[in-house]
Every structure is written in C-alpha cells, then in structure tokens.
Chain A
C-alpha cells in the first residue's frame, strides 16, 4: 500500500487523539507505533529531557527499543544522546563496531539486530526538548521523503507534549515536560501493581493498561493514576474486549 495512505491515516489518528484531555504518553506511543508502519524503520522511541537536562525514556514501539533507549541513558552515549546534546539530526548512521563512535551502545544495538539508526531532535524555539529515535534492522539510507516524514512526525510529537497551549511561556513548557515525564513514572508504578496482581510480565501489564484505557476512552495516565491510588482494581483490567487486546498485544 502506498505510504501516503498510511501517513494520512497516521495524521488523522494523531489529530483525532489531540483533542481535549489527551494523554501525552498515549499519543507518543501511537506515534512510535505508526512511525514503524509509515516509514521504513523497525523500531521507534521518544526520549525527553527533564528540567535538569537528563534524558528520560517516554515511549517506544517495542521492548527491544525500550531497553536500548534506557541503555543509552545509563551509558550516556548513543545516537539519541548525541542528537539531543547537539540539537542536530543524525540520519542514516550505519552501526559498526569499527568506527568506535559509541563503544558501549553499538555492540548492544547490533546484538538486538539493529544495523542503522536515526535520531531527530524535538525542537521548540531554539530549545531541544528531546529526540525521536528510529532504528532499522537493515543498512542503507532512508529515502529523502522518509527523512522529511520523520522530522514531521518529530514535530508532531513536540506539539503533542505542549498540549495545545496557545500561549507558551517558560513556565508552561517546563510544566508540560515535567508532567509528561512524571506520567511515564505513574505508568511504570501501575505496571508493577498490575504485574503483581495478575501474575503477568511488564509488557502484558502495559498491554492490559492500554487496552482498558482504549476501551473506556480514558487516558493511559488517568487509568494508571487510578490504579496507583487504589480507586481502580487491577483485576478490573482482566477482561479487555478481544479486539482491543489483539490490537495492543505486540
């Protein structure tokens, strides 16, 4: 199918999500999922900078991506770290242990099957707030069109974090960033509760959380908060409808 159709479908879905009280993590997770479908990449992830300038993982299309994103943060090296630090896109970088650019990250990524990486800065008024990372299992460059598309998607991700505020002062931007990062922590806390209560692993716990949020038309963070605060029992997540659970299991 033409990539254009997928792209249009993606933009419509994102636009559909960016209304009223949308959930940032939800939108970013959808965005990383769609990146993989609309562009010739195999995994996508978003990292954001905390007010202290530390990068934090916020969303990804797959578990292997999540692990690599977290590893970059721990090792403080990798395409995303460079992209964020320099505020410049890294496109079509072929991973090779020989070049020695990321001695810790590269072997890990190769081990996970990735062969080339891209990292697009998420920028707002001269400030880099994070990066969208795209990994491929094959070498060879992305098409020029694809590069334009992914930078466009990175811009959409930036807009998503800003939560459609019309007047965006420093206070608001920092608040939105801080809230987005905290949302991710709430979700991890809820995943722990669900995982323990339902004897499932973290991925299944996340799938349950996501399916429930979808089915009830609620934000991920909102559902996660209710679970952590005890007003929603993790057992209630046990019965997602079949179609929803199929959509969210990966």
Chain B
C-alpha cells in the first residue's frame, strides 16, 4: 500500500499535459497506472443517461461505443449499480449477463473487462471501464489503483463541471478534499437550500468556492456553521455572519 500513489497519478497527468475538459489525459493515466491495455470514462447525468467522455485508444473507443449502443457492459453496470464488476474472460464469460456485449467486445481483441463506479457518496458521476487484451483478474495493486483512479476521476469531473480551470485539479488532489466531511455535509445542506440534487450541490459548492477564491473546505465549513447559505428567493449566495438563530 503506497500512501503517495496520488502523487504518482498527478505526475503522470502533468506529463500527459492533456486537456482536462476532454478527459483524454485521465483515461491514459488510468490505463497507465493500472498497467492495463486501455480505459474509458462515461459520465452519467440525471436520469439514466450516459455520455462517453473519453477513451485512451482505439479498442477502448470501440468498447465504449458497444456499451453505449447495447446498453450493457462493465461501465454501464458500474454506473447503474454503484458497484464494481468484472468479466475475467470474454471468450468464456462466467455469466450470461452481457449476452450481446461479451462476444462483440471479445471481437475487438479485449479479453478481460473491469468496471468501477465513479461516485462521491450517494452522488453518481459515471464509471471507469478498463480492459486488458489477456484474460485474468487484477492484482491487488491494480485493483487498489483502479479504485483510487475512480476517486481521482470523480474529483476531476467535479472540478470540470464547476467550471474551474484545468490546473485547479492539482489543488483538488492535494487537498484530500473527498476526505473532508464538511464538504459532504455542506453539499447536503445546500441541496435543501437550493432544491438541487446532492450531486449538483457538490458542483455548485465547488463552483462558488472557485468564484470566491475560497478553499472548498473553508466555504463548506462556513455553510455548516450557517454563516453562508444559498438564498432561493434571490437565487444568490448570502453571507449572513450576523444571523445565528439555528
């Protein structure tokens, strides 16, 4: 267990110099860090709609197209169920859950596929799909790296949807922000104040933090302390330091 694996991921991302908004660098880093053949990321929005975001190579793109077209596969299942899944040998699938996907996926040259949900608490952001051109399970390190990567992707999507510049992700990863509970509590509070889903509230909170040049955890703590709130009447944020009746 390497505690600074995040640093490795970040260094890889810097080297990729990709555009965050297109996610390509994230897909390449996901494939590289897990030492697998390729990766793809789908975004899920409200409802059950899934949008392909990025893939790391041609086969990954073909696999992604299959998932979107057929509505089944590892990424689809991960984002729907919120649970990771795998098919260790597409040539001889263990179950018949992906009747259409498995043979088509095998035809692209992929042999094993893995799906990891991209989520922050109960907020679902999409899924990370990984594949390898040989059958078999992931090693312990590969598995923990895949989970870590899924969490990095969650933070990246949040940063992107909050309209933050691409380089803001560095601070995001550095700040261990998903471990900061005040952010999640504040997102819950904001979702009630602004009648948003918790997912959208997380994005809105992040956007406001960037707009006001405040650290997300600092803004979150002020929301929890009821110093800052979203006012639905005016549709604006309010800073009421004086009001303290709760």
Report A's interface with B, CB cutoff 8 A.
49-54, 56-57, 70, 73, 85, 127-128, 169-171, 173-175, 178-179, 182, 184-186, 188-197, 199, 202, 224-225, 228-230, 234
Top 8 A-B pairs ranked by shortest CB distance?
A: A192-B188, A170-B140, A185-B121, A51-B147, A53-B3, A228-B122, A188-B184, A51-B144
| Given known contacts A53-B5, A54-B176, A202-B185, A171 and B122 CB-to-CB distance under 8 angstroms | no
Range of interface residues on B (Cβ < 8 Å): 35 or more
Docked complex: B65-115 residues within 8 A CB-CB of A: 83-84, 86
Q: Assess the A228–B188 pair: CB atoms within 8 A.
A: yes
The residues of B that contact A51 with a CB separation of less than 8 Å are: 143-148, 151
Is B123 in contact with A56, judged by CB distance below 8 angstroms? Answer: no
Q: Which of A173, A174, A191, A225 contacts B122 (CB 8 A)?
A: A225
Q: Is the CB of A188 within 8 A of B185?
A: yes
B2 at the interface (CB under 8 A from A): yes
In the complex, the number of residue pairs spanning A and B with C-beta atoms less than 8 Å apart equals 127
CA distance A182 to B197 in the complex (A): 17
> In the complex, which residues of chain A have a beta carbon less than 8 angstroms from the beta carbon of B191?
192-193, 196
- Known contacts A174-B147, A189-B198, then 6 further A-B pairs from the complex at CB < 8 Å, ordered by chain A residue: A51-B144, A51-B148, A51-B151, A169-B137, A192-B191, A195-B224
B6 to chain A, nearest CB (A): 5
Contact status of A192 and B1, CB under 8 A, knowing A70-B181, A174-B143, A228-B122:
no
Whether B189 and A196, one on each chain, are in contact in the complex, defined by CB atoms closer than 8 angstroms, is: yes
Residue of B with least CB distance to A87: B1
A-B contact pairs, 23 of them (CB 8 A): A50-B147, A50-B151, A51-B147, A54-B3, A56-B179, A73-B176, A85-B3, A128-B1, A170-B137, A171-B86, A173-B140, A174-B140, A174-B143, A175-B84, A185-B120, A185-B184, A192-B186, A192-B187, A192-B190, A193-B189, A194-B188, A195-B185, A199-B246
